[in-house]
Structure 1
Protein backbone atom coordinates (compact mmCIF):
# COMPACT_ATOMS: atom_id res chain seq x y z
CA UNK A 1 0.00 0.00 0.00
CA UNK A 2 1.43 3.36 -1.06
CA UNK A 3 0.90 6.28 1.33
CA UNK A 4 0.00 9.39 -0.65
CA UNK A 5 -0.09 13.14 0.07
CA UNK A 6 -2.04 15.56 -2.19
CA UNK A 7 -0.76 19.14 -2.29
CA UNK A 8 -2.40 21.92 -4.31
CA UNK A 9 -3.57 25.41 -3.46
CA UNK A 10 -6.65 24.99 -5.70
CA UNK A 11 -9.41 23.08 -3.83
CA UNK A 12 -11.02 21.85 -7.07
CA UNK A 13 -7.70 20.50 -8.34
CA UNK A 14 -7.12 18.69 -5.03
CA UNK A 15 -10.64 17.27 -5.13
CA UNK A 16 -10.07 15.92 -8.65
CA UNK A 17 -6.89 14.11 -7.65
CA UNK A 18 -8.48 12.75 -4.47
CA UNK A 19 -11.48 11.42 -6.42
CA UNK A 20 -9.22 9.54 -8.83
CA UNK A 21 -7.08 8.15 -6.02
CA UNK A 22 -10.15 6.64 -4.36
CA UNK A 23 -10.34 4.30 -7.34
CA UNK A 24 -6.78 3.02 -6.71
CA UNK A 25 -6.94 0.18 -4.20
CA UNK A 26 -3.19 0.33 -3.51
CA UNK A 27 -3.16 4.11 -2.78
CA UNK A 28 -3.94 5.44 0.71
CA UNK A 29 -4.23 9.23 1.05
CA UNK A 30 -2.79 10.24 4.43
CA UNK A 31 -3.34 14.02 4.13
CA UNK A 32 -3.90 16.98 1.82
CA UNK A 33 -2.41 20.49 1.95
CA UNK A 34 -2.94 23.81 0.18
CA UNK A 35 0.40 25.63 0.45
CA UNK A 36 4.14 25.01 0.39
CA UNK A 37 5.06 25.41 4.09
CA UNK A 38 2.19 23.15 5.18
CA UNK A 39 3.26 20.62 2.54
CA UNK A 40 6.84 20.56 3.82
CA UNK A 41 5.70 20.05 7.40
CA UNK A 42 3.20 17.39 6.31
CA UNK A 43 5.80 15.40 4.38
CA UNK A 44 8.16 15.46 7.35
CA UNK A 45 5.40 14.32 9.70
CA UNK A 46 3.65 11.63 7.63
CA UNK A 47 6.59 10.37 5.47
CA UNK A 48 4.46 9.52 2.41
CA UNK A 49 5.69 7.28 -0.41
CA UNK A 50 4.24 9.53 -3.09
CA UNK A 51 3.06 13.14 -3.36
CA UNK A 52 0.90 14.80 -6.00
CA UNK A 53 2.47 18.25 -5.85
CA UNK A 54 1.47 21.59 -7.39
CA UNK A 55 4.42 23.49 -8.86
CA UNK A 56 3.24 27.04 -8.08
CA UNK A 57 1.89 27.53 -4.55
CA UNK A 58 1.81 30.36 -2.01
CA UNK A 59 4.65 30.46 0.47
CA UNK A 60 6.89 27.91 -1.28
CA UNK A 61 7.09 26.38 -4.76
CA UNK A 62 6.59 22.65 -5.11
CA UNK A 63 10.15 21.96 -6.32
CA UNK A 64 11.50 24.02 -3.41
CA UNK A 65 9.53 21.81 -1.02
CA UNK A 66 11.22 18.71 -2.44
CA UNK A 67 14.65 20.35 -2.50
CA UNK A 68 14.31 21.28 1.19
CA UNK A 69 14.07 17.60 2.13
CA UNK A 70 17.08 15.30 2.59
CA UNK A 71 17.28 12.63 -0.09
CA UNK A 72 16.36 9.91 2.41
CA UNK A 73 13.13 11.75 3.31
CA UNK A 74 12.14 12.77 -0.22
CA UNK A 75 9.04 11.00 -1.54
CA UNK A 76 8.33 10.15 -5.15
CA UNK A 77 6.46 13.02 -6.78
CA UNK A 78 3.99 13.66 -9.57
CA UNK A 79 3.86 17.36 -10.45
CA UNK A 80 0.58 19.20 -11.02
CA UNK A 81 1.15 22.19 -13.27
CA UNK A 82 -0.10 24.38 -16.08
CA UNK A 83 3.37 24.51 -17.68
CA UNK A 84 5.25 22.04 -19.91
CA UNK A 85 8.84 23.16 -19.30
CA UNK A 86 10.97 21.42 -16.69
CA UNK A 87 14.68 21.58 -15.87
CA UNK A 88 16.64 18.44 -15.03
CA UNK A 89 16.38 19.66 -11.40
CA UNK A 90 12.78 18.43 -11.35
CA UNK A 91 13.73 14.91 -12.36
CA UNK A 92 16.61 14.90 -9.88
CA UNK A 93 14.06 15.34 -7.08
CA UNK A 94 12.27 12.00 -7.60
CA UNK A 95 9.69 13.52 -9.94
CA UNK A 96 8.30 10.53 -11.82
CA UNK A 97 5.80 12.39 -14.02
CA UNK A 98 3.85 15.61 -14.45
CA UNK A 99 0.16 16.25 -15.06
CA UNK A 100 -1.04 19.29 -16.96
CA UNK A 101 -4.13 20.99 -15.59
CA UNK A 102 -6.93 20.22 -16.20
CA UNK A 103 -5.89 16.64 -15.54
CA UNK A 104 -7.06 14.00 -18.03
CA UNK A 105 -8.08 10.55 -16.77
CA UNK A 106 -5.74 8.72 -19.16
CA UNK A 107 -2.72 10.79 -18.15
CA UNK A 108 -3.55 10.40 -14.46
CA UNK A 109 -3.64 6.60 -14.87
CA UNK A 110 -0.31 6.72 -16.70
CA UNK A 111 1.28 8.80 -13.93
CA UNK A 112 0.01 6.39 -11.27
CA UNK A 113 1.45 3.45 -13.22
CA UNK A 114 4.85 5.13 -13.41
CA UNK A 115 4.72 5.93 -9.68
CA UNK A 116 3.98 2.26 -8.91
CA UNK A 117 6.93 1.18 -11.03
CA UNK A 118 9.27 3.68 -9.35
CA UNK A 119 8.05 2.63 -5.89
CA UNK A 120 8.73 -1.04 -6.65
CA UNK A 121 12.18 -0.12 -7.92
CA UNK A 122 12.90 1.71 -4.66
CA UNK A 123 11.91 -1.28 -2.56
CA UNK A 124 13.40 -4.12 -4.57
CA UNK A 125 16.44 -5.93 -3.24
CA UNK A 126 19.79 -4.65 -4.56
CA UNK A 127 21.30 -6.81 -7.30
CA UNK A 128 23.93 -9.34 -6.33
CA UNK A 129 27.47 -8.09 -6.99
CA UNK A 130 29.04 -9.37 -10.17
CA UNK A 131 32.31 -11.24 -10.01
CA UNK A 132 34.01 -8.96 -12.52
CA UNK A 133 33.07 -5.43 -13.60
CA UNK A 134 31.89 -4.99 -17.16
CA UNK A 135 34.38 -3.50 -19.59
CA UNK A 136 33.14 -0.56 -21.62
CA UNK A 137 34.63 1.41 -24.47
CA UNK A 138 37.02 4.04 -23.07
CA UNK A 139 38.16 5.63 -26.31
CA UNK A 140 37.38 5.70 -30.01
CA UNK A 141 39.83 5.16 -32.84
CA UNK A 142 39.09 7.41 -35.82
CA UNK A 143 40.94 6.96 -39.11
CA UNK A 144 41.93 9.97 -41.23
CA UNK A 145 43.66 8.57 -44.31
CA UNK A 146 46.90 7.12 -42.97
CA UNK A 147 46.45 8.76 -39.54
CA UNK A 148 44.68 7.40 -36.48
CA UNK A 149 43.07 9.84 -34.04
CA UNK A 150 42.10 8.68 -30.54
CA UNK A 151 39.09 10.30 -28.86
CA UNK A 152 38.42 9.57 -25.18
CA UNK A 153 34.83 8.52 -24.47
CA UNK A 154 34.75 11.07 -21.65
CA UNK A 155 35.24 13.86 -24.20
CA UNK A 156 32.26 12.84 -26.35
CA UNK A 157 29.19 14.96 -25.63
CA UNK A 158 26.70 13.23 -27.93
CA UNK A 159 26.57 10.88 -30.91
CA UNK A 160 24.22 10.77 -33.86
CA UNK A 161 23.62 8.19 -36.57
CA UNK A 162 24.98 8.72 -40.08
CA UNK A 163 23.76 5.68 -42.03
CA UNK A 164 26.08 2.76 -41.26
CA UNK A 165 28.37 5.22 -39.46
CA UNK A 166 28.09 7.35 -36.33
CA UNK A 167 29.25 10.93 -35.75
CA UNK A 168 30.97 11.75 -32.45
CA UNK A 169 30.55 15.31 -31.22
CA UNK A 170 33.38 16.37 -28.89
CA UNK A 171 34.57 19.87 -27.96
CA UNK A 172 33.10 21.44 -31.07
CA UNK A 173 34.59 18.85 -33.45
CA UNK A 174 33.00 15.94 -35.31
CA UNK A 175 34.52 12.48 -35.82
CA UNK A 176 33.06 9.81 -38.09
CA UNK A 177 33.36 6.21 -36.87
CA UNK A 178 32.38 3.13 -38.85
CA UNK A 179 29.93 1.47 -36.50
CA UNK A 180 26.17 1.56 -36.00
CA UNK A 181 24.48 3.41 -33.17
CA UNK A 182 23.00 0.13 -31.89
CA UNK A 183 26.44 -1.45 -31.51
CA UNK A 184 27.85 1.72 -29.97
CA UNK A 185 25.24 1.99 -27.21
CA UNK A 186 25.98 -1.62 -26.18
CA UNK A 187 29.70 -0.85 -25.82
CA UNK A 188 29.35 2.42 -23.86
CA UNK A 189 29.05 2.66 -20.08
CA UNK A 190 25.29 3.01 -19.28
CA UNK A 191 26.22 5.04 -16.19
CA UNK A 192 27.65 7.70 -18.51
CA UNK A 193 25.74 7.39 -21.80
CA UNK A 194 22.09 6.82 -22.73
CA UNK A 195 20.25 6.43 -26.00
CA UNK A 196 17.60 9.14 -26.29
CA UNK A 197 16.39 8.52 -29.83
CA UNK A 198 16.82 5.88 -32.52
CA UNK A 199 19.38 8.24 -34.05
CA UNK A 200 21.06 9.78 -30.98
CA UNK A 201 23.08 8.92 -27.84
CA UNK A 202 23.90 11.50 -25.18
CA UNK A 203 26.45 11.68 -22.39
CA UNK A 204 24.32 12.09 -19.27
CA UNK A 205 26.42 14.76 -17.56
CA UNK A 206 25.97 17.00 -20.61
CA UNK A 207 22.18 17.27 -20.16
CA UNK A 208 21.44 20.74 -18.78
CA UNK A 209 17.68 20.87 -19.28
CA UNK A 210 14.78 18.62 -20.22
CA UNK A 211 11.54 20.05 -21.61
CA UNK A 212 8.67 17.60 -21.87
CA UNK A 213 6.24 17.62 -24.79
CA UNK A 214 2.58 16.68 -24.82
CA UNK A 215 3.17 13.33 -26.55
CA UNK A 216 5.72 12.27 -23.86
CA UNK A 217 8.64 13.06 -26.15
CA UNK A 218 11.08 15.61 -24.74
CA UNK A 219 13.57 18.22 -25.89
CA UNK A 220 16.98 18.10 -24.23
CA UNK A 221 19.34 21.07 -24.08
CA UNK A 222 22.99 20.15 -23.64
CA UNK A 223 25.51 22.29 -21.77
CA UNK A 224 26.80 23.77 -25.02
CA UNK A 225 23.25 24.72 -26.06
CA UNK A 226 22.71 21.84 -28.50
CA UNK A 227 19.03 20.77 -28.64
CA UNK A 228 18.26 17.04 -28.97
CA UNK A 229 14.93 15.27 -29.17
CA UNK A 230 14.30 12.37 -26.77
CA UNK A 231 11.56 10.03 -27.97
CA UNK A 232 8.94 8.43 -25.72
CA UNK A 233 10.56 5.03 -26.41
CA UNK A 234 13.64 6.03 -24.42
CA UNK A 235 12.35 8.72 -22.00
CA UNK A 236 11.67 6.44 -19.00
CA UNK A 237 15.11 4.81 -19.17
CA UNK A 238 16.68 8.26 -19.62
CA UNK A 239 15.01 9.62 -16.47
CA UNK A 240 16.14 6.60 -14.46
CA UNK A 241 19.71 7.03 -15.78
CA UNK A 242 19.71 10.74 -14.88
CA UNK A 243 18.48 9.97 -11.36
CA UNK A 244 21.07 7.22 -10.86
CA UNK A 245 23.82 9.58 -12.02
CA UNK A 246 22.61 12.26 -9.57
CA UNK A 247 22.51 9.73 -6.73
CA UNK A 248 26.00 8.47 -7.55
CA UNK A 249 27.33 12.02 -7.59
Structure 2
Protein backbone atom coordinates (compact mmCIF):
# COMPACT_ATOMS: atom_id res chain seq x y z
CA UNK A 1 0.00 0.00 0.00
CA UNK A 2 1.19 3.54 -0.76
CA UNK A 3 2.32 4.91 2.59
CA UNK A 4 1.13 8.40 1.65
CA UNK A 5 -2.44 7.16 1.86
CA UNK A 6 -2.06 6.39 5.58
CA UNK A 7 -3.69 3.54 7.46
CA UNK A 8 -7.22 2.41 6.70
CA UNK A 9 -9.40 3.32 9.70
CA UNK A 10 -11.70 0.43 10.61
CA UNK A 11 -14.88 0.08 12.68
CA UNK A 12 -16.38 -3.27 13.71
CA UNK A 13 -20.13 -3.62 14.20
CA UNK A 14 -21.44 -6.89 15.64
CA UNK A 15 -23.65 -7.74 18.62
CA UNK A 16 -21.52 -10.82 19.38
CA UNK A 17 -18.35 -9.95 21.38
CA UNK A 18 -16.55 -13.09 20.16
CA UNK A 19 -17.25 -12.19 16.54
CA UNK A 20 -15.82 -8.69 17.11
CA UNK A 21 -12.78 -10.21 18.82
CA UNK A 22 -12.07 -12.51 15.85
CA UNK A 23 -11.90 -9.53 13.50
CA UNK A 24 -9.86 -7.49 16.00
CA UNK A 25 -7.25 -10.24 16.36
CA UNK A 26 -6.81 -10.45 12.60
CA UNK A 27 -6.65 -6.67 12.20
CA UNK A 28 -3.90 -6.50 14.84
CA UNK A 29 -1.72 -8.60 12.53
CA UNK A 30 -2.12 -6.20 9.62
CA UNK A 31 -0.16 -2.95 9.93
CA UNK A 32 -2.08 -1.31 7.09
CA UNK A 33 -5.23 -1.09 9.23
CA UNK A 34 -6.14 0.80 12.40
CA UNK A 35 -9.13 -0.11 14.57
CA UNK A 36 -10.88 3.12 15.61
CA UNK A 37 -14.24 1.94 16.98
CA UNK A 38 -16.49 -1.02 17.69
CA UNK A 39 -20.24 -1.15 18.27
CA UNK A 40 -22.65 -3.81 19.49
CA UNK A 41 -25.90 -2.62 17.91
CA UNK A 42 -27.11 -0.83 14.81
CA UNK A 43 -28.40 2.34 16.45
CA UNK A 44 -25.13 3.26 18.16
CA UNK A 45 -23.24 2.20 15.02
CA UNK A 46 -25.16 4.66 12.85
CA UNK A 47 -24.40 7.57 15.18
CA UNK A 48 -20.78 6.55 15.63
CA UNK A 49 -20.02 5.97 11.96
CA UNK A 50 -21.64 9.26 10.96
CA UNK A 51 -19.48 11.06 13.52
CA UNK A 52 -16.19 9.18 13.15
CA UNK A 53 -16.33 8.47 9.40
CA UNK A 54 -14.16 5.32 9.29
CA UNK A 55 -12.79 4.15 5.94
CA UNK A 56 -13.86 0.52 6.32
CA UNK A 57 -16.52 -1.16 8.44
CA UNK A 58 -17.05 -4.85 9.20
CA UNK A 59 -20.83 -4.88 9.54
CA UNK A 60 -22.97 -7.65 11.01
CA UNK A 61 -26.23 -7.85 9.07
CA UNK A 62 -28.65 -8.87 11.83
CA UNK A 63 -28.41 -7.00 15.15
CA UNK A 64 -30.64 -5.44 17.80
CA UNK A 65 -32.18 -2.18 16.62
CA UNK A 66 -31.22 -1.28 13.07
CA UNK A 67 -29.82 -4.05 10.91
CA UNK A 68 -26.44 -3.65 9.26
CA UNK A 69 -28.17 -3.12 5.91
CA UNK A 70 -30.33 -0.36 7.42
CA UNK A 71 -27.30 1.35 8.99
CA UNK A 72 -25.44 1.51 5.67
CA UNK A 73 -28.54 2.60 3.75
CA UNK A 74 -29.15 5.43 6.24
CA UNK A 75 -25.72 6.96 5.55
CA UNK A 76 -25.41 9.41 2.64
CA UNK A 77 -23.52 7.68 -0.22
CA UNK A 78 -20.54 10.06 0.07
CA UNK A 79 -20.22 9.20 3.79
CA UNK A 80 -20.72 5.47 3.40
CA UNK A 81 -17.50 3.61 4.22
CA UNK A 82 -16.22 0.56 2.41
CA UNK A 83 -18.18 -2.30 3.94
CA UNK A 84 -17.59 -5.99 4.53
CA UNK A 85 -20.86 -7.63 5.55
CA UNK A 86 -20.82 -10.43 8.14
CA UNK A 87 -23.77 -12.79 8.41
CA UNK A 88 -24.76 -16.37 9.18
CA UNK A 89 -27.18 -16.30 6.22
CA UNK A 90 -26.51 -16.21 2.51
CA UNK A 91 -29.62 -14.32 1.31
CA UNK A 92 -28.35 -10.75 1.65
CA UNK A 93 -26.06 -10.71 -1.38
CA UNK A 94 -28.40 -8.51 -3.45
CA UNK A 95 -28.61 -5.84 -0.74
CA UNK A 96 -24.83 -6.02 -0.36
CA UNK A 97 -24.44 -5.35 -4.07
CA UNK A 98 -26.88 -2.41 -3.95
CA UNK A 99 -24.83 -0.82 -1.14
CA UNK A 100 -21.53 -1.39 -2.99
CA UNK A 101 -20.15 -3.61 -0.23
CA UNK A 102 -16.67 -4.83 -1.15
CA UNK A 103 -17.17 -8.30 0.35
CA UNK A 104 -19.75 -10.57 1.96
CA UNK A 105 -18.52 -13.09 4.55
CA UNK A 106 -20.50 -15.97 5.95
CA UNK A 107 -20.03 -16.79 9.65
CA UNK A 108 -18.05 -18.42 11.07
CA UNK A 109 -15.38 -16.60 9.04
CA UNK A 110 -12.02 -18.33 8.68
CA UNK A 111 -8.75 -16.37 8.76
CA UNK A 112 -7.94 -16.96 5.09
CA UNK A 113 -11.29 -15.57 3.97
CA UNK A 114 -10.96 -12.57 6.29
CA UNK A 115 -7.49 -11.82 4.94
CA UNK A 116 -8.92 -11.96 1.44
CA UNK A 117 -11.48 -9.31 2.38
CA UNK A 118 -8.74 -7.10 3.86
CA UNK A 119 -6.67 -7.46 0.70
CA UNK A 120 -9.71 -6.46 -1.34
CA UNK A 121 -10.11 -3.35 0.84
CA UNK A 122 -6.45 -2.46 0.24
CA UNK A 123 -6.94 -2.67 -3.51
CA UNK A 124 -10.13 -0.60 -3.44
CA UNK A 125 -8.89 2.03 -0.98
CA UNK A 126 -6.90 4.32 -3.36
CA UNK A 127 -9.93 4.63 -5.66
CA UNK A 128 -12.44 5.13 -2.84
CA UNK A 129 -10.10 7.63 -1.16
CA UNK A 130 -9.64 9.70 -4.30
CA UNK A 131 -13.39 9.79 -4.81
CA UNK A 132 -14.15 10.81 -1.22
CA UNK A 133 -11.40 13.42 -1.28
CA UNK A 134 -12.97 15.24 -4.23
CA UNK A 135 -13.77 18.89 -3.40
CA UNK A 136 -16.94 18.91 -1.34
CA UNK A 137 -19.50 21.67 -1.64
CA UNK A 138 -19.75 22.42 2.06
CA UNK A 139 -22.51 24.80 3.13
CA UNK A 140 -21.22 28.38 3.06
CA UNK A 141 -24.38 30.14 4.25
CA UNK A 142 -27.89 29.48 5.54
CA UNK A 143 -31.03 31.06 4.14
CA UNK A 144 -33.41 31.98 6.96
CA UNK A 145 -36.62 33.97 7.27
CA UNK A 146 -36.90 37.04 9.50
CA UNK A 147 -40.43 38.36 9.25
CA UNK A 148 -40.92 39.38 5.62
CA UNK A 149 -37.17 39.35 4.96
CA UNK A 150 -34.88 36.56 3.76
CA UNK A 151 -31.51 36.68 5.52
CA UNK A 152 -28.26 34.94 4.57
CA UNK A 153 -26.31 33.79 7.62
CA UNK A 154 -22.65 32.91 6.79
CA UNK A 155 -21.70 29.47 8.11
CA UNK A 156 -18.48 30.93 9.54
CA UNK A 157 -20.51 33.12 11.89
CA UNK A 158 -22.52 30.23 13.33
CA UNK A 159 -21.26 29.30 16.81
CA UNK A 160 -23.43 26.27 17.43
CA UNK A 161 -26.55 24.57 16.06
CA UNK A 162 -29.20 22.87 18.17
CA UNK A 163 -31.92 20.42 17.13
CA UNK A 164 -35.52 21.61 17.37
CA UNK A 165 -37.72 18.76 16.17
CA UNK A 166 -37.76 18.79 12.37
CA UNK A 167 -35.90 22.13 12.44
CA UNK A 168 -32.60 23.43 13.79
CA UNK A 169 -31.66 26.64 15.59
CA UNK A 170 -28.53 28.58 14.59
CA UNK A 171 -26.77 30.56 17.33
CA UNK A 172 -24.69 33.48 16.11
CA UNK A 173 -23.58 36.66 17.87
CA UNK A 174 -26.32 36.49 20.49
CA UNK A 175 -29.03 35.93 17.85
CA UNK A 176 -30.93 32.76 16.96
CA UNK A 177 -32.28 31.72 13.58
CA UNK A 178 -34.58 28.82 12.74
CA UNK A 179 -33.74 26.73 9.65
CA UNK A 180 -35.96 24.12 8.03
CA UNK A 181 -33.47 21.25 8.21
CA UNK A 182 -32.91 18.39 10.60
CA UNK A 183 -29.66 18.44 12.56
CA UNK A 184 -28.58 15.12 11.02
CA UNK A 185 -28.87 16.64 7.52
CA UNK A 186 -26.92 19.76 8.48
CA UNK A 187 -24.15 17.61 9.98
CA UNK A 188 -23.51 16.07 6.55
CA UNK A 189 -23.39 19.49 4.83
CA UNK A 190 -20.87 21.29 7.06
CA UNK A 191 -17.08 21.12 6.74
CA UNK A 192 -15.96 18.61 9.44
CA UNK A 193 -12.71 20.59 9.86
CA UNK A 194 -14.79 23.55 11.06
CA UNK A 195 -17.88 21.98 12.64
CA UNK A 196 -18.45 18.79 14.61
CA UNK A 197 -21.52 17.14 16.02
CA UNK A 198 -20.90 16.69 19.74
CA UNK A 199 -24.31 15.32 20.74
CA UNK A 200 -27.34 14.00 18.92
CA UNK A 201 -28.89 17.45 19.49
CA UNK A 202 -25.86 19.75 19.02
CA UNK A 203 -23.26 20.81 16.42
CA UNK A 204 -20.43 23.13 17.50
CA UNK A 205 -17.98 25.29 15.56
CA UNK A 206 -14.61 23.94 16.67
CA UNK A 207 -12.87 27.26 17.29
CA UNK A 208 -15.64 28.19 19.75
CA UNK A 209 -14.49 25.48 22.19
CA UNK A 210 -12.48 27.07 25.02
CA UNK A 211 -12.28 24.07 27.36
CA UNK A 212 -13.01 20.35 27.30
CA UNK A 213 -13.37 18.49 30.58
CA UNK A 214 -13.64 14.68 30.64
CA UNK A 215 -16.48 13.16 32.68
CA UNK A 216 -16.48 9.79 34.41
CA UNK A 217 -18.81 8.12 31.87
CA UNK A 218 -16.54 9.03 28.90
CA UNK A 219 -18.76 11.98 27.99
CA UNK A 220 -17.20 15.45 28.19
CA UNK A 221 -18.26 18.93 29.28
CA UNK A 222 -17.50 21.69 26.79
CA UNK A 223 -17.19 25.36 27.69
CA UNK A 224 -17.55 27.66 24.71
CA UNK A 225 -15.94 31.07 24.35
CA UNK A 226 -19.27 32.76 25.07
CA UNK A 227 -19.50 30.90 28.39
CA UNK A 228 -22.07 28.34 27.25
CA UNK A 229 -21.72 24.84 28.72
CA UNK A 230 -22.53 21.84 26.54
CA UNK A 231 -22.33 18.10 27.01
CA UNK A 232 -20.42 16.09 24.41
CA UNK A 233 -21.59 12.48 24.12
CA UNK A 234 -18.96 9.70 24.18
CA UNK A 235 -20.34 8.54 20.82
CA UNK A 236 -18.96 11.68 19.19
CA UNK A 237 -15.78 12.08 21.27
CA UNK A 238 -13.35 10.19 18.94
CA UNK A 239 -14.35 12.33 15.93
CA UNK A 240 -14.26 15.51 18.04
CA UNK A 241 -10.79 14.69 19.38
CA UNK A 242 -9.51 14.05 15.84
CA UNK A 243 -11.00 17.32 14.57
CA UNK A 244 -9.56 19.36 17.46
CA UNK A 245 -6.15 17.77 16.92
CA UNK A 246 -6.31 18.71 13.23
CA UNK A 247 -7.34 22.26 14.12
CA UNK A 248 -4.51 22.62 16.64
CA UNK A 249 -1.91 21.41 14.12
CA UNK A 250 -3.30 23.78 11.50
CA UNK A 251 -3.11 26.83 13.78
CA UNK A 252 0.22 25.93 15.45
Structure 2 length normalisation: TM-score?
A: 0.48
Structure 1 length normalisation: TM-score?
A: 0.49
